[in-house]
Amino acid sequence: MNEQTVKNLKTVVLSNQEVSPGYFRMRILAPGYPGSAKPGHFVMLRVQRSLHPLLRRPFGIFQTGTLPPDCEGQPPKEYLEILYKVVGRGTNLLKDLHQGDRIEVLGPLGRGFSPLLEGREQILVGGGIGLVPLYMLARELVKTTKVRLYMGGRSREDILCVTEFERLGVETYVSTDDGSLGEQGFVTQALERRLDLGSEASLYACGPMPMLDAVQKICAQRCVPLQVSLEALMACGVGACLGCVVKGIGHSEETPRYLCSCKAGPVFDARELAWQKMDKENDYCEGCAS
Amino acid sequence: MSAKNNETSPNLGVEVAGLRLKNPVMPASGTFGYGAEYAPFFDLNRLGAIVTKGLSLKPKAGNPTPRIAETEGGMLNAIGLQNVGVDAFVAEKLPLLGSLSTPVIANFFGNSLEEYGEVAARLSDIPEIAACELNISCPNVKKGGIVFGTDPKAAAEVVSLVRSKLSKPLIVKLTPNVTDIALMARAVEEAGADALCCINTLTGMAIDIRSRKPRLANVTGGLSGPAIRPVAVRMVYQASSAVNIPVIGVGGIMTAEDVVEFLIAGATAVQVGTANFIDPCAMIEIIEGLESFCRAEGIDDIRELIGSLRI
Ligand SMILES: Cc1cc2nc3c(=O)[nH]c(=O)nc-3n(C[C@H](O)[C@H](O)[C@H](O)COP(=O)(O)OP(=O)(O)OC[C@H]3O[C@@H](n4cnc5c(N)ncnc54)[C@H](O)[C@@H]3O)c2cc1C
Ligand SMILES: Cc1cc2nc3c(=O)[nH]c(=O)nc-3n(C[C@H](O)[C@H](O)[C@H](O)COP(=O)(O)O)c2cc1C
Ligand code: FES
């Protein structure tokens, strides 16, 4: 497990823009993040100072970066970006924030991806907003290998930032349920075809639980290593409340085995998880929102 | 606004169950892990004491998910007392806690009278633990699941047994899910408690109206956070009026002003729970806020506030 330096930053919003209907991209001033945030890490945002909503909200880090200083002599501005879908109270408040508004960022949190390279084809699979943690990963992976992204969503509005992946040199394949962009159908169909060409691959996936479960089956059948980023309800984000657990391998009702998804995750090796036991309705997963 | 200037700082020290605390602020069990989780954010020695997640004899896996649900001004939890068990606690968690200068309070529970006794005996031998906090909000599995803490006789029985096995100060944490908290407080005092802690979470429930399912897999859960504070203040007031031992106040504390309210109601010290999730540095801000409050109000010693309610 990587022990990053976790901080609670009291900081400001740099920009906040709607990138597709219902999806926003927010840039937040975040000194230290370009150095400390790794692919798959997340932050807990305190959206407001009052009591509604009470708890922080978890968001994956889409990317980090550095801007030149506003004026000479000042240090460059380090930032992080999140990409989010407006689904409820917290995200509705978030979408109304403007440049200069205050925000609190707890992070970087969790265990991120641990890339498996060694001559393997690197394949990313994203469903809807589940694409968020894959961008930083792609940025890392393209330095040494070829990277392919299989991106799925309900409709063209749910396919975000694909051109940014392409700009990194990632080969992208898009599928939508309604066929409004890319191939019509599930992202898993295109993925299966690719894997059946036979080259050795490593997979990294994030998206709705049914998609992850399908990807997991495809990988298990072919002995392809897979890491998934899960989403759970969270209160603290630091391993203290134990509210965010998911079922680990070997879990049964008689001998429950829970893994803390904010500490041991949110990225897990697919083999660590009890897929058959996951309740597709109750176990929240990245992109349920999608 | 910390006490860096040359004015004499107000005394924030209090004494609870024979423990001298440098200030009255400590975390509430189950909201601060085993300390390590919050060590990145501040020096844990700044706290009045540290209270661990509830410990049981054997590790406990906890309840099915979803385990938490946010509500207006609060949250429901049904974690199911997931914990590593006493052995792993000693092996993995105690080294950090034992290296601190601030007192460590071990919260614990059992599923039967015997188990309560056994955990107490184990904890009694651990020198790094300064005091124990007994959680009696658990069902007695051998007696049809009646919660120890809701029946004065059962509560007294478990407290006497634990008292006889434990050679450390004993704090008993009461459940608010009772009709008469004063009755429970007296029963527990007579059975040998050195201090009380009021309150644990209030049993609550929330429903997803679209699926018509409970929002917690456990159906019901414990309500915590600012929503419960008036109930907690009332219970601290009633309990502290009924007994001669100190009362630790807990329930919905978010700010230094909230702490002052609890002290006035009769609490000698306080615990902060849900607020840690919202701001990992909440307790530090509260301690600094207490100092500013005392200074601004001309209070030299925070103990002046304890039980100072004017009726
Ligand atoms: C590690 C992690 C990373 C995440 N990364 C992102 C991200 O990059 N972008 C993004 O848009 N979202 C992300 N999420 C999900 C995001 O946290 C939730 O969408 C957000 O908390 C909803 O807050 P709200 O107040 O708007 O909704 P609420 O008012 O709390 O809920 C509105 C609706 O959304 C559902 N909901 C609430 N929380 C979740 C959840 N955790 N998962 C699924 N459904 C939920 C509720 O059941 C309800 O139906 C992530 C979650 C986790 C745990
Ligand atoms: C997630 C969570 C876990 C808890 N676990 C325990 C526990 O193990 N033992 C215990 O005595 N109380 C436990 N509590 C109760 C708290 O210690 C405290 O009494 C309660 O939350 C009220 O305080 P608050 O409103 O400041 O949170 C827990 C509370 C929460 C929210
Ligand atoms: S969110 Fe609290 S332990 Fe994971």
Is A52's Cβ below 8 Å from some Cβ in B? Answer: yes
Does B79 map to a domain? yes
Query: What CATH number should be reported for the domain holding residue B120?
Result: 3.20.20.70
User: What's residue B237's pLDDT?
Assistant: 98
Q: Which domain does B56 fall in, by range?
A: 14-305
Written as six digits, the tokens of B295 are: 């200074």
- The stretch B2-13 carries a mean pLDDT of 70
pLDDT tens per residue, range B129-163: 999 999 998 777 777 777 899 999 999 999 999 99
pLDDT of residue A287: 37
Give me the pLDDT at residue B1, please: 45
Distance A282 CA to ligand 1 centre (A): 13
Closest ligand 3 atom to the C-alpha of A239? 3
> What confidence score (pLDDT) does residue A77 get?
94
pLDDT value, residue A3:
58
**Alpha-carbon span A173 to A171, nearest angstrom:** 7
The pLDDT confidence band at residue B7, using thresholds 50, 70 and 90, is low
Extents of the domains making up chain A: 7-109
Domain count, chain B: 1
Q: Is residue B48 part of a domain?
A: yes
Superfamily of segment(s) A7-109: Translation factors (2.40.30.10)
pLDDT of B248-288, one tens digit each?
A: 999 999 999 999 999 999 999 999 999 999 999 999 999 99
pLDDT at A284: 43
**B104-108 sheet: strands from edge to edge:** B25-27, B269-272, B247-250, B195-198, B170-173, B131-135, B104-108, B50-51
Question: Chain-centre distance of CA B258, in angstroms?
Answer: 16
For residue A229, CA distances in Å to A34, A36, A113, A126, A240 come to: 21, 19, 8, 10, 20
Residue A233 Cβ contacting ligand 3 at under 6 Å: no
Q: Please list, in sequence order, all residues whose beta carbon lies within 8 angstroms of the beta carbon of residue B212, skipping any fewer than 6 positions away.
A: none
ipTM above 0.90, yes or no: yes
The minimal CB distance from A46 to the residues B37, B41, B278 is found for B278
Tens digit of pLDDT for each residue in B76-110?
A: 999 999 999 999 999 999 999 999 999 999 999 99
In chain B, whose CA is at the least distance from the CA of A256?
B61
Is the beta carbon of A188 within 6 A of some atom in ligand 1? Answer: no
Residue B163 counted as domain residue:
yes
CB atoms within 10 A of CB B218: 19
Other C-beta atoms lying within 10 Å of the C-beta of residue A21: 9
CB B31, CB B8: distance < 8 Å: no
**What is chain B's mean pLDDT, rounded?**
94
- Is the residue at B311 inside a domain? no
Which residues of B are marked as active site? 138
pLDDT digits (tens, 9 = 90+) for A214-241: 999 999 999 899 999 999 999 999 999 9
How confident is the model at residue B267, as a pLDDT? 98
CA angle, B34 as apex, B31 and B37 as ends, to 5°? 75
Is pLDDT at B65 greater than 90 in this prediction? yes
- B52 domain-assigned: yes
Residues B271 and B27 sit within 8 Å (Cβ to Cβ): yes
Taking the C-alpha atoms of residue A52 and residue B244, their distance in angstroms, rounded to an integer, is 39
CA atoms of A156 and A159, how far apart (whole Å): 5
Q: What is the pLDDT of residue A283?
A: 46
Nearest chain B alpha carbon to A242 = B79
> Does B2 map to a domain?
no
- Which ligand 2 atom sits nearest the alpha carbon of residue B51? 17
What's residue A5's pLDDT?
A: 86
Does residue A143 belong to the interface with chain B, where contact is any CB pair within 8 Å?
no
Q: Is residue B133 part of a domain?
A: yes
Residue A278 vs residues A213, B65, B279: alpha-carbon distances, Å: 9, 10, 31
Cross-chain residue pair A242–B277, CB shorter than 8 Å: no
Mean pLDDT split into 10-residue runs, chain A, 290 residues: 77 96 96 95 90 94 93 91 95 95 96 86 94 96 92 93 93 93 89 88 94 94 94 96 95 89 96 85 41
* Average pLDDT of span B27-34: 96
Q: Is residue B7 assigned to a domain?
A: no
Q: What percent of chain A has pLDDT over 90?
A: 76
Please indicate whether, in this complex, the C-beta atoms of B65 and A5 are within 8 angstroms of each other. no
d(CA A278, CA B35): 30
> Is B280 an 8 Å CB contact of chain A?
yes
